[in-house]
Structure 1
Amino acid sequence: MTFLALVRHGETDWNLHGRLQGSSDIPLNSTGRAQASEAVYELEGRRWDLLVSSPLSRAAETADIIGAHLGIERTGTYADLAERHFGAAEGFTDYDAWSRWPHGHYPGLESRENLIVRGLRAIDEIADMHPDSSVIAVAHGGVIRAIVGALRGIPSPRILNAGVSTLVRQNGKNWTVETINGVPAQRTR
């Protein structure tokens, strides 16, 4: 069995101001650093074998803060855990993006299908490389939401900053979503 805790990074100034971050590398703010420290309360009490993150600095720093509290070092990054690329809309607020592209198809927008494929590929790769392990993977709200929604077959709720969602993979193939933002979930893929 592989136990995977998907943790969303802490808050950034762009989160605070409702801007689409996507693949832009925006750092944590002081609230985000505090949220990363608080996420530890949900993660402590289990032995963790591995800590990894998206390559974006807000996820890497969140992972490093969590790791410092839990006594585990971040040992790798997975490009497939990066946030969805919003193309020309990155840096815009939702309203500004909508007023410019009311159809929601921003130039350069990564498709939801691609986001799901690479998100599932990332968690499968982590589990394949680290079977029978407990892993913390720090990523982004969009990719976590895509993963959880695909596994459950229904849309996922919004993933909170520093929210912890947990998955279990049994027998090397089937994932079960156990929690979303720390709240018990049901339905499997």
Structure 2
Amino acid sequence: MKTLHLLRHGATPWNATGQLNSTTDIGLSDRGRQEILAIAPLVQGLALDRVMCSPRRRAQETAQLLALPLPINPDDRLRELDFGCFEGKTPAELAQDLPFQQWYWDANPQVPVSVESFESVADRAQAFLQDMATLPDNTILAIAHGALIRILLCHCVLGMNPHTYRRLRVDNGTLSTLIWDSQGLRLTALNCTSLRSA
């Protein structure tokens, strides 16, 4: 049985203020570092064979804090959804931004030119999963971002439209787990700071 653990990076200063963050390459906050140090013993006990990681600084710093005895393999497909013109905006600003409201909440989202489509993120998440499924490694850790992980779970695992990712909650410094078994690809844990053996 193959297992993929998805770890959302630790919190950043922008997570604290609610600002959207994709391409702005900021590091972890003190809180974020504490989140990762808190979950590190759990991750270190997963008997990992491979570590994949978004190239963004906040994900790379998360990987380094875990202190795993494995190389960190950057994969650009794990980068966050590109928020484009919404990058850096606060919740108060977004509440008054009609294009954001139409993009984020509408059943048929209108995607501004500068913003990456949900389908684009779903496509690269699917390509990543397909590659992980063909590796000889049995237990893989992928360190990534909130929207990316939720779109991957919604679309690639649960078969939902990728824009429904907002219905899932994935906090900073938490694990979500997938397995490939005789029934295919399945979600066994979501938004966890501890894991129970089956």
Match of 1:42 in 2: 42
- Does residue 173 of structure 2 align to residue 162 of structure 1? yes
Residues 140-159 of structure 1 aligned to structure 2 (within 5 Å): 140-150=145-155, 151-154=157-160, 155=164, 156-159=167-170
**Matched residue type, 2:102:** H
Q: Kindly report the root-mean-square deviation, in angstroms, between the aligned alpha carbons of the 2 structures.
A: 2.1
TM-score, structure 1 as length reference = 0.85
Structure 1 runs, 4 residues or longer, greater than 4 Å off: none
- Does residue 72 of structure 2 align to residue 75 of structure 1? yes
Number of aligned positions between the proteins: 179
Q: Separation in 2 of the partners of 1:52 and 1:143? A: 14
8 A contact 1:2–1:132 mirrored in 2: yes
- Report deviation, 1:167: 0.6
Q: Separation in 1 of the partners of 2:92 and 2:113? A: 16
Q: Separation in 1 of the partners of 2:137 and 2:83? A: 35
Which one is further off, 89-98 or 143-152? 89-98
Q: Separation in 1 of the partners of 2:61 and 2:170? A: 18
- Report deviation, 1:183: 8.4
Report sequence identity in percent: 30
Q: Separation in 2 of the partners of 1:65 and 1:183? A: 16
Q: Deviations over 1:98-155 (max 9, x none)?
A: 4233423444111111111111211221232x23421111000101001111212355
Runs of at least 5 residues in structure 2 that lack an aligned partner in the other structure: 104-110
Residues 84-123 of structure 1 aligned to structure 2 (within 5 Å): 84-100=81-97, 101=99, 102-104=101-103, 105-123=111-129
TM-score, structure 2 as length reference = 0.82
